[in-house]
Structure 1
């Protein structure tokens, strides 16, 4: 059966999606009357989807299951991208058991072996909720001293939104931060009502206005690879390519690896950080 938590999230997601659109963007005529709320009205979405306004209202209120044909029509009507489409289908999925607290995470041995082999490339093992499960010395030298953070607080999104030094380090902070929000929202769709995730979202919503606004929005930045810029206090500005590799034995865990183009100042900076961690007595 459908859970109340999932229906609530589905309704909020649909409302957020239609709030970001105007009649003009979806090919509907402007009525000329002032709108009390931004975006499309329920009856306009219903018209685009090909169902009655009453039937669409029942979807937003969590009072009716959603056929796949209607989901496909919603994707087209609301101009959803691939990540948003996936979230819509996950939220509409049935047969979800009531949420329960899941066991503590430990980095998978396969990922730990890979981590040991990576010496000059910063690498992290990221688990559920963007928890940081393991890292190599170069990652600590580049990002932060993870050993100084209590194990239950080691979370990439928490660092991104609550650590001022981490925010200054990331020159592309907004892009990185929005990607974190997307990852958490997609996980919330897969595991509605997860108590640990709900606690994290509540904490970050209180701590940061950007997180609060983006969590309520519809934009999704589902990136698996990309390029980021950092301003490190020791080696200066770095441009790094990063990739996320999913563990086949435990798909909830990913190895996040950063590299730099050989022969560039960024590559030299990573080599310096790697040698620095290998010889802690070397002066900065």
Structure 2
């Protein structure tokens, strides 16, 4: 890019047509020395926040930003979003086709970004929740409704959620969005504050789950999760009814909801 493209004066003759180090550093809000050390590959603790500032300064598109992250941190970046990101329509259709099986999509920070009606009736209502309440880690540690749904299985579920979150956090150390969530939960949840320092790390589904819904009663599910192939920052989770009684109760719950709407 030329200086004129980013609103800088031409600055006289140049050996190359692109931006100088000092100009890139100024646009990214870092020192020239720090930017030079980053170019040289020194071990200076580059954060995702600074890389995003650099990507904005250089006006990188998504594939270029991904390449920058791989060069600097050997990891892919979080998806750039404003608010709750949408998902591919085909992925939403996949969720809807699960019918009586509650299904949803989460991002790296365990934000629920898409769901089907069964999931909303059992875990939600997601469509009425704000951004923070759609975060499944936040709801696990702050919502009385989640504790009522899980009863004596709440601690096992909460520890599993926390361990999955920590495994994801390892790829984004120092990211302000992750740090803010950790700080808030540490302040308001004694369980989170006690368990976070234990450094449990886990990935994958919980397996069999037992829920106690106020209207539908006892529900037993087998949970499966998998990464979305063309959007590796997203995880799809489907809770399959483990017996015919659970399936019938979920169908009845959907029928009552459909009639009321």
TM-score (norm. length: structure 2)? 0.66
Is 1:243–1:257's contact at 8 Å kept on the other side of the alignment?
yes
Distance 2:180 2:157 in 1: 21
Q: Does 1:96 align with 2:76?
A: no
Correspondence for 1:120: 100
CA RMSD, Structure 1 to Structure 2 (Å): 2.7
Q: 1:3 to 1:272 in 2, by over 3 A?
A: farther
Tell me which of the two structures has the higher relative contact order, counting C-alpha pairs closer than 8 angstroms and 6 or more residues apart: 1
Q: How many angstroms does 1:100 deviate by? A: 9.2
Q: How many angstroms does 1:216 deviate by? A: 0.6
Correspondence for 2:194: 213
Is 2:102–2:119's contact at 8 Å kept on the other side of the alignment?
yes
1:245 is paired with a residue of what secondary structure?
strand
Distance 1:100 1:224 in 2: 21
Is 1:227–1:239's contact at 8 Å kept on the other side of the alignment?
yes
Gaps of 5+ in 1: 7-92
Correspondence for 1:228: 209
Is 2:167–2:202's contact at 8 Å kept on the other side of the alignment?
no
Is 2:78–2:108's contact at 8 Å kept on the other side of the alignment?
no
Q: Does 1:164 align with 2:141?
A: no
Gaps of 5+ in 2: 1-41, 48-69
The answer to which of 215-224 and 164-173 deviates more is 215-224
- 1:54-99 C-alpha deviation (Å, 9 max, x unpaired): xxxxxxxxxxxxxxxxxxxxxxxxxxxxxxxxxxxxxxx99429x9
Distance 1:137 1:153 in 2: 17
Number of matched pairs? 194
Q: How many angstroms does 1:183 deviate by? A: 1.7
